Amino acid sequence: MLNRLDRYFLTQLFAPFGFFALVIAGILWLAQALPLVDRVIESGQSGIVFLEITSYLLPRVLMVALPIAALSAALYALNRLYTESELVVMMTAGLSPFALARPVAIFGLIITALMMVITLYLVPASQTQLGQRLADFRSDFAKTLVREGQFIHPVDGLTLFIRDTSKQGEMAGLFLNDQRDDAIQVTYTAQRALLLQEGESIRIVMFDGNIQRLPTGSDQLSTLNFEQFSYDIGALLAAPVNRNRSPFARFVPELIWPDAEMRASEKYDRGDYLAEANHKLVMPLSALVLPLLALGAILAGGFRRGGFMGRVMGAVGIALMVQTGVGVSKSMVQGNGDLFWIMYLPPLFGLITALLLLYKAGRVPGQRRGMA
């Protein structure tokens, strides 16, 4: 049951938390969304579709933003409360640092619960949906290649020109120049062509044309005439395939107990799956540990009228160590899945540090006496 002090503390913490979460998530969301702008525009989609696609990035963004926002909110609120002597009055009234840690821990547990929902369900669900929607753009993007009388560059080193198109989808006067290979330049020309899609395969079928190959640094041009030739452009349209989802886009049970198809993957192994599974479980713990670190850093060392910038920077430094440790340990687990337990050491280190700081704060002379 929350008492009046707990409710007051939570009010002071959640107000700046909402602000910091909005600002940090907005910056991260913008950085993630910008690379998708070109793909959405080139596929001829509307702004509504762009918002839909980028909305799938929000869980991924919040997974990173919420622990940082929780730390920032705790540092801001606690520093203000201590500077205005409110915390001093509370401790003078007999409240120990560990008693003050109760509402901060409740705040952290609430954010941790929210993080658990995000990392364990929303992130894999949204990433799977994002991959499927981007895959759906393949045919739409392919259709944008068929532009009459324009030089199109689908990817670097590839140039496509179509003289004329018909309502039936036929193309006339096709020119395709491929310079992606530094060793050889290949040019395709055809009197007419069709754009065909069969499942996930997208091909340009050319009729009555020729292929010209010119090695770099050579003047020996080889030419091959053809009546029909198929050019696969599906590989050019970099779109994720749902069945080959990355570990980040999978749910924790899938990662801990991978099926036969996942085990047969040449791209990912057991270490990758266990690293991602435990990363999804560890990340929410940061939302509990970091606010407690902020409280310990503010209280440790006693009251100072000159401010607590040094302590704030110390808390940020320890928080950075905790978050960096999670990333480093994840890399180690990717190399050896049996080391998955080390991913829990950074948040444990942060929690022990916070408890030691709170213990020190309770022993600082003057912490329990008036310091106005």
The pLDDT assigned to 147 comes to 66
pLDDT tens by residue, 136-147: 665 555 555 666
User: What number is the average pLDDT over the span 53-75?
Assistant: 92
Determine the straight-line distance between the first and last CA of the chain, rounded to whole angstroms.
Answer: 31
pLDDT (tens digit per residue) in 255-281: 999 988 888 888 899 999 999 999 999
Instruction: Looking at the chain, list the stretches that DSSP marks H as alpha helix, in order from N- to C-terminal side.
Output: 4-42, 47-55, 58-83, 86-92, 97-117, 123-144, 252-256, 260-263, 270-299, 309-335, 345-363
Of residues 61 and 168, more confidence is placed in 61
Is residue 241 scored above 50 in pLDDT? no
Per the DSSP assignment, residues forming a β-bridge with 364 are: none
- Ranges 47-61, 195-209, 239-253, 324-338: which has the least confidence: 239-253
pLDDT digits (tens, 9 = 90+) for 105-151: 999 999 999 999 999 999 999 988 887 777 666 555 555 566 677 78
Q: Where are the domains of the chain?
A: 4-140+244-363, 146-232
Q: Is the pLDDT of residue 253 over 60?
A: yes
Write down the pTM of the prediction.
0.72
pLDDT at 240 over 50: no
Q: How far is CA 311 from the centre of its chain?
A: 30
Residue among 192, 45, 178 nearest 54 (CA): 45
CB of 54 within 8 A of CB of 29? yes
The residue ranking higher by pLDDT, 1 or 24, is: 24
pLDDT tops 70 at residue 64: yes
pLDDT band at 364; cut points 50, 70, 90? low
- The mean pLDDT value for 324-338 works out to 93
How far is Cα 199 from Cα 193, in angstroms, rounded to an integer?
19
How confident is the prediction for the chain on average, in pLDDT?
83
Residues 164, 172 contacting (CB under 8 angstroms): yes
Q: How high is the pLDDT of residue 314?
A: 84
